[in-house]
Amino acid sequence: MSKHKPFSFDKFTSAVKDDLLKSFLAEEGVAVAEGKDLTPSYVSKQLDALNDKNKKLDIMECMHSINDIADHTMEALIQVVNKHELKCEEDETPESTAMRVYLFQRLEFEIIHDQFLMELYAENMNHFSFENCGAAFDLEKIGQFRQRVEQYYRDRGKSENCVIRERSDNDKHCFFIARGDYMKTQTIFEDKQLKYTSFRPGKEDMLLFDKVKSVLSIKSSGRGLEERHTYIDLFGTTILGLKEIPQETYEKTLVVVNPVREQLFYGGNKDISTVKLVQVSLRQISNPRVKMILKSDDVFQTLDDMELSLNDFNLLSAKLKFFFHENRRPVTVEINPPGNTKIKKRREKEIIENYLREKHVLLV
């Protein structure tokens, strides 16, 4: 299952024109009575009547994806509508337009959806730098990369195969890797008794390579370093053609947190009115066994109230809240050295990243 934004079934089915929704349901094998109004309750009832309950889940997943595109990529949808001269009604809802593109320009829809996922997954990625490496995304090297990724997960008993798709976006090249994880056993309640079922969880990772900066950004479902380092190894030795990965690629710091200690960091610019430090992870210099997380609307003021200073601690990570001159909602950003940032997918993301580079927090 792909990552999603919030979704309301009733709102979505009410917003899509009946003729488009009927075509979608017919394509998915859902019976709809002739002349029947496709109210949310009626559509839900028809989905519940499906003999294959997994089919209902697949349909709901597809609806959720169409809703994501309607909510977040309207400009791209309009470009497809104009390019292919799709006939839309005046004042058509975004949900109807997204459904129209899904039904009549499926490939274009899939490209837009992957672009949405690229931006969504990019909210939380780890970054690794290669020194001026020439990437070759030819069929042979991409095939080698696919084979070695599949072999890695097969050898660990996580997945017999993977589904890997790729996209190019200007100077960036992206791989989406859908694969399995270790089998899990879960207790379920069925036929008035406890039973047990086993299943293999599904995961989706993303590798995004910036060909200009030679930076590989990784969104991995695994929490440890092993999977990220394995992706670095597999990508570097296939796509980049390296015989071995330089040790500094694993260790080089691309995100630093110390600049947030200085008051000059918080002055803002023409777009950002002010920045506030709202959370820090600290380790005491005099006693390294003491580690603390401090949350506050204003960390500096709270430390003053406690008669403490940031200079008493090693700063491990920080959370910042950005405020803007225009009437925009504040955006919270996490800084986790040596290579991780968390910035929500918002139109202000580029403004914030440029500010962090200007203040020497982001080094790429």
**Is residue 234 located within the same domain as residue 139?**
yes
Question: pLDDT tens, 114-151?
Answer: 999 988 888 888 899 998 677 889 999 999 999 999 99
**Is residue 109 located within the same domain as residue 95?**
yes
- pLDDT at residue number 314: 93
Q: Give the confidence band of 343 by pLDDT, cuts at 50, 70, 90.
A: confident
Looking at the chain, the whole-number percentage of residues with pLDDT higher than 70 is 98
- pLDDT at residue number 5: 66
Q: Rounded CA gap, 106 and 110, in Å?
A: 6
**Is residue 232 located within the same domain as residue 272?**
no
Please tell me whether residue 272 adopts helix, strand or coil conformation: strand
Least confident of 20-24, 109-113, 300-304, 344-348: 344-348
**Is residue 218 located within the same domain as residue 334?**
no
> Using an 8 Å Cβ cutoff, are 2 and 80 in contact?
no
- pLDDT at residue number 154: 92
* Cβ-Cβ contacts under 8 Å for 356 (sequence gap 6 or more): 333, 335, 341, 362
CA 18 vs CA 24, 35, 310: distances in Å = 10, 10, 60
**Is residue 200 located within the same domain as residue 294?**
no
Q: Rounded CA gap, 98 and 105, in Å?
A: 10
**Is residue 95 located within the same domain as residue 207?**
no
Q: Are strands 331-336 and 340-343 parallel, antiparallel or unpaired?
A: antiparallel
- pLDDT at residue number 3: 56
Model's pTM, two decimal places? 0.80
Q: What tokens were used for 281? A: 């992870």
Q: 340 lies in a domain? A: yes
Q: Given the structure tokens 């990784």, which residue do they identify?
A: 218
- pLDDT at residue number 350: 85
Q: 81 lies in a domain? A: yes
- pLDDT at residue number 346: 65
**Is residue 42 located within the same domain as residue 142?**
no
Question: pLDDT tens, 156-207?
Answer: 898 888 899 999 888 899 999 999 988 889 898 888 899 888 888 889 999 9
Strands (E), 121-261: 124-129, 163-169, 172-180, 184-190, 193-199, 202-210, 215-219
Question: pLDDT tens, 42-68?
Answer: 999 999 999 888 899 999 999 999 999
pLDDT above 70 for 73? yes
pLDDT above 80 for 79? yes
Q: Rounded CA gap, 215 and 123, in Å?
A: 16
Q: 364 lies in a domain? A: no
**Is residue 114 located within the same domain as residue 133?**
no
Domain that residue 100 falls in: 9-121
Q: Rounded CA gap, 2 and 18, in Å?
A: 26
Q: What tokens were used for 28? A: 């998915």
Q: Rounded CA gap, 4 and 356, in Å?
A: 27
Q: 109 lies in a domain? A: yes
Q: 1 lies in a domain? A: no
Mean pLDDT of the chain: 90
Higher-pLDDT residue of 339, 101: 101
Which residues make beta-bridge pairs with 255?
A: 362
Q: What is the DSSP letter of 261?
A: G
CA 272 vs CA 12, 257, 279, 331: distances in Å = 35, 19, 19, 11
Q: 264 lies in a domain? A: yes
Q: Rounded CA gap, 7 and 66, in Å?
A: 10
Higher-pLDDT residue of 309, 3: 309
Q: Rounded CA gap, 311 and 300, in Å?
A: 11
pLDDT above 90 for 2? no
Per-residue pLDDT, averaged over 71-98, amounts to 93
Looking at the chain, the whole-number percentage of residues with pLDDT higher than 90 is 62
pLDDT above 80 for 92? yes
Q: What are phi and psi of 349, to 5 degrees?
A: -55, -45
Cβ-count burial of 178 within 10 angstroms (0-12 exposed, 13-18 middle, 19+ buried)?
A: middle
The tally of CA atoms less than 13 A away on the side-chain side of residue 283 is 5
From the list 54, 65, 52, the residue with the least C-alpha distance to 24 is 65
Q: 3 lies in a domain? A: no
Q: Rounded CA gap, 205 and 221, in Å?
A: 6
CA 285 vs CA 42, 117, 268, 279: distances in Å = 64, 41, 30, 18
- Domain final position from 74, 93, 121: 121
Q: How many domains does the chain have?
A: 3
**Is residue 115 located within the same domain as residue 213?**
no
- Domain final position from 189, 223, 251: 251
- Domain final position from 94, 121, 148: 121
Per-residue pLDDT, averaged over 102-123, amounts to 92
Q: 167 lies in a domain? A: yes
**Is residue 223 located within the same domain as residue 212?**
yes
- pLDDT at residue number 165: 93
Q: Are strands 313-324 and 291-295 parallel, antiparallel or unpaired?
A: unpaired
**Is residue 130 located within the same domain as residue 47?**
no
**Is residue 180 located within the same domain as residue 101?**
no
pLDDT above 50 for 1? no
Per-residue pLDDT, averaged over 84-88, amounts to 92
pLDDT above 70 for 251? yes
